[in-house]
Amino acid sequence: MTKPDKREEIVCAALELIAEHGFHGAPMAIIAERAGVGAGTIYRYFENKDELISQLYREVEKKMVDDLLVGYPMEKTIRERFLHLGTVLLRYFISHPLDFRYLEQFHNSPYGVEYRRDRILGKNEELDIFRDLFEEGVSSRVMKDLPLVILFALSFGPLLAVARDHILGFITLDDELIARTGEACWDGVKQ
Amino acid sequence: MTKPDKREEIVCAALELIAEHGFHGAPMAIIAERAGVGAGTIYRYFENKDELISQLYREVEKKMVDDLLVGYPMEKTIRERFLHLGTVLLRYFISHPLDFRYLEQFHNSPYGVEYRRDRILGKNEELDIFRDLFEEGVSSRVMKDLPLVILFALSFGPLLAVARDHILGFITLDDELIARTGEACWDGVKQ
DNA sequence: GTAAAAGGAATGAACGTTCATTCCTTTTTG
DNA sequence: CAAAAAGGAATGAACGTTCATTCCTTTTAC
């Protein structure tokens, strides 16, 4: 039996509670209870609630990005790469609904706005697979000549909305619908 | 001088504070202060904070929908009606950023999820201009044969994302960009 | 090898703060 | 003057965080 890592328990409990009830529906006392841990113990691993929230965000995002890069067809056409990313992203969200809901909560909070501001306006050193794809798409005239931010909106706007609707039970996505949604997004960005 | 309607002052103060700082960054005491009103006075107009939040949502939404219907070209083609709605919607959000931010806060909260559940799954009696347009688009084979929910996502996903980016200062939309964004959304939903 | 001591992780009751709401007083209205 | 409206201090519940204490593991002493 592996040792039940307390930090991991805390992180899992926080993910569940925050994904389901939002930041303000997840008091530290309840997180501790669900993690099977004393309230004070959390503060041995995280300086405060903000820090817990931020670290959890980074972990969830990293896990997702790593998954997205597996099998990315670097050598195929722009269209095929676009469709691959859309499909894999949708599938990831559907099979990790807690992660999705957590990311949404984060993005729609002051934390997330600041975070995006840094990524979009700041000097973003990290290799960004999406940015690269869109820049190549525009410069090779395969995609519409629109600002990157708008191309992002045309792609992720629908994908996130559809994932949300699926997770909330407003629709049930199957392989065919996922593929057709990806194609429709492509129609939106392609020249 | 018109009488300074206290209810109106309260509603305005709440809109500003909640749009800028979220539900939890808008304590009743501060709303009262900004409205130039005693804390207890709010409770003469609204049963509690939830009620204030819900009523404010309904007012903001109604104001927006009314505006959207002005000059709606009922007789023109589906494409033209679609582009009209997209353009007017984007313009509305840009010129009413507080309203937009408030609507987003609401939609991303437990209130909003419940509200959408009713609208999408429940029997929705009210005349819904969007629903009508998409149903006509699908049945006349001008739009892709996809579930309504997905067509909604393909249209509003990008529009909301772009409006958010503009309001947060990540991009500056002008008439041309607004028009081209609308066209790109149309490319996404058209057959 | 066993017992004592040390170290530090874990605990949860207690604290101070914040907030929505209530309640009683004061002001306004007719 | 009576009734309604407004005001804002008081209230109590909920929350994040702290800290004195307990518990458990590891090290030391003999």
Residue of B nearest to A150 (CA): B162
> Chain C positions under 7 Å from a protein CB?
9-14, 18-24
State the pTM of this model: 0.93
Nearest to A158 among B105, B116, B153 (CB): B153
pLDDT digit string (tens) for B143-180? 999 999 999 999 999 999 999 999 999 999 999 999 99
Segment B6-13 shows an average pLDDT of 96
Q: Is B109 on the interface with A (CB under 8 A)?
A: yes
Shortest distance between the Cα of B22 and any Cα of chain A, in A, equals 8
Which residues in chain A have their CB less than 8 angstroms from residue B152's CB? 161
Q: Does A191 touch chain B (CB under 8 A)?
A: no
> What is the Cα–Cα distance from B66 to B64, expressed in whole angstroms?
5
Q: Is the CB of B40 under 7 A from strand C?
A: yes
Q: Would you put residue A113 in left (φ > 0), alpha (ψ -120 to 50) or beta?
A: alpha
The amino acid at residue A106 is F
The model's pLDDT over B14-51, given as tens digits with 9 standing for 90+, comes to 999 999 999 999 999 999 999 999 999 999 999 999 99
- The reply to whether A44 Cβ lies less than 7 angstroms from strand C is yes
Residue range B93-152, pLDDT digits in tens: 999 999 999 999 999 988 888 888 888 776 666 668 899 999 999 999 999 999 999 999
Mark yes or no for CB contact B181/A121 under 8 Å. no
Confirm whether any atom of chain D, the nucleic acid strand, is less than 7 Å from CB of B49: no
Q: How many Cα atoms occupy the beta-carbon half-sphere of B43 within 13 Å?
A: 6
Question: Which of B21, B147, B188 lies at the smallest CB-CB distance from A185?
Answer: B188
- CB contact at 8 A, B85 and B133: yes
CB of B110 less than 8 A from some CB of A: yes
Mutate to test the interface with A, among B114, B165, B173, B177 (most CBs of A within 10 A): B165
**For the packed helices A175-189 and A148-167, what is the interaxial angle rounded to 10 degrees?**
160
Q: Strand, coil or helix: what is B143?
A: strand
CA geometry: angle at B102 spanning A153 and B168, to 5°? Answer: 45
Question: Whole-angstrom Cα distance, residue B140 to residue B88?
Answer: 24
**B122/A contact by beta carbon, under 8 A:** no
Give the mean pLDDT per block of 10 residues along chain A (191 residues).
Answer: 74 96 95 95 95 96 92 95 97 98 93 85 72 96 97 98 96 98 98 95
